[in-house]
Structure 1
């Protein structure tokens, strides 16, 4: 695609993605094979200098998400000229405006390059969490196949995801160079991450209402999306409940005496807890 800051060819973007879908599918297959086989080969080793690479990677993603968010924010705010209906059902200039068109296209493609998150986690000697791996795969595939078919709902998905990921990657970048341990900010980031699911579910339910009322709605993205968002919302809730339950258990461990701690650490629960500490952070 030729770069012209004053114009944007939305049809050319569709063709570009369609032509490269086979390549993307091969990439997804390679990613899956890597994630499920490399940890056994790598065996928890850590690459020298990887911490610096991870910092720059997180900083790059934070900056990219902030830029994309700023590119889409004017369209999102102006889309409420007829309330929720126009924001959720009318594309207006979302795909054709040079600023928002490029931003929404890049947002879809960014879900592919974010697969590198898990690769870096493995090379850093940590075990990837299966829920996050599945989440990466499902979202990246849906983004490649739903571009423009998703319609006006894309602005809600993009705005919520870019907002949460801007905060997430900024936190991870700061943590890698300044904060050497998790702080209470981690819980705030997790809440922000979780918030995008109910917000988008609300949008999808409103779309269903508009469609049932026989209003014009420029989207074919509803039923399957509700199932996907509901499933991930429930799974992530269960994940974080289990996670913070273990965090609270760890506080009780450190309050115990040395003998009690030794006995506890010989139990399977301690081994499970230590395994959790080595699991993947949210990406």
Structure 2
């Protein structure tokens, strides 16, 4: 076990961040191609399944969710360790303005892996389409905009990236673990789903806060970013905050009110 961990840490240290950064500098617009292909798959998949029975993909979905859960858990531990170390050594402002996150020995690989992971995560929607589940606007809008913003942010190595990635890793660690349990047929109490959605809402509020701080600090101190990234990131996080809050209301509060009215 210790030998395996040493190999992992050694791989993190030797990861060629400069090569990865150069590749994104040259190919970041490929994110638009992935998003276009994703939209086409959704449209064609729904058309294909229109007159067909839903597919039973419980077992593949379980392994899919489990792999993403394990990946997110590892990512949250490694990036979270970096953020905690930065906070204890240099304070909160440095955690926001830090850009060494993209090149530091044990966070550089996980920053790169996080950025790439937004492509395979599009596969979540394939399961929804083939299982003929309800595909809400929030789901596919979130996938597309996260992919575009993440790739553009990695290309520019903007401040705030450590927060964005660590928060997303942590929420996804819980979310995909929850999906794994559901796919395995394990009945989880409703508060588990409520907790995950609440954490997503908190993540969006914190994302807006971080971008606001980057905006206020990028002239005062070294807080590298650009107005385009701050503007689009703020609009993205604000839209997420509103959409996730509305989803929370529709899913948990409105239904509970209806149940209460029926009980009366």
Per the alignment, residue 251 of structure 1 pairs with: 259
1:130-209 superposed matches below 5 A: 130-180=137-187, 183-209=190-216
TM-score (norm 2): 0.85
Shift of 1:190: 1.0
Q: Output the CA distance in 1 between the equivalents of 2:78 and 2:122.
A: 23
Answer yes or no: is the 8 Å Cα contact 2:99–2:157 preserved in 1: no
With over 3 angstroms needed to count, the CA separation of the structure-2 counterparts of 1:247 and 1:45, relative to structure 1, is farther
Per the alignment, residue 224 of structure 2 pairs with: 218
Tell me, which stretches of 5 or more residues in structure 2 are unaligned? 1-9
Would you say 1:86 and 2:86 are equivalent positions? no
Answer yes or no: is the 8 Å Cα contact 1:115–1:136 preserved in 2: yes
Tell me, which stretches of 5 or more residues in structure 1 are unaligned? 257-283
Q: Output the CA distance in 2 between the equivalents of 1:35 and 1:179.
A: 28
Per the alignment, residue 127 of structure 1 pairs with: 134
1:97-136 superposed matches below 5 A: 97-136=104-143
With over 3 angstroms needed to count, the CA separation of the structure-2 counterparts of 1:163 and 1:123, relative to structure 1, is same
- Aligned-residue Cα RMSD (Å) equals 2.4
Q: Output the CA distance in 1 between the equivalents of 2:245 and 2:121.
A: 22
Answer yes or no: is the 8 Å Cα contact 2:54–2:132 preserved in 1: yes
Deviations 1:83-125 (A, max 9, x none): 2221111323x22223200001101111111100011111111
In our comparison, the structure showing a higher alpha carbon Rg is: 1
Answer yes or no: is the 8 Å Cα contact 2:28–2:155 preserved in 1: no
Shift of 1:4: 5.2
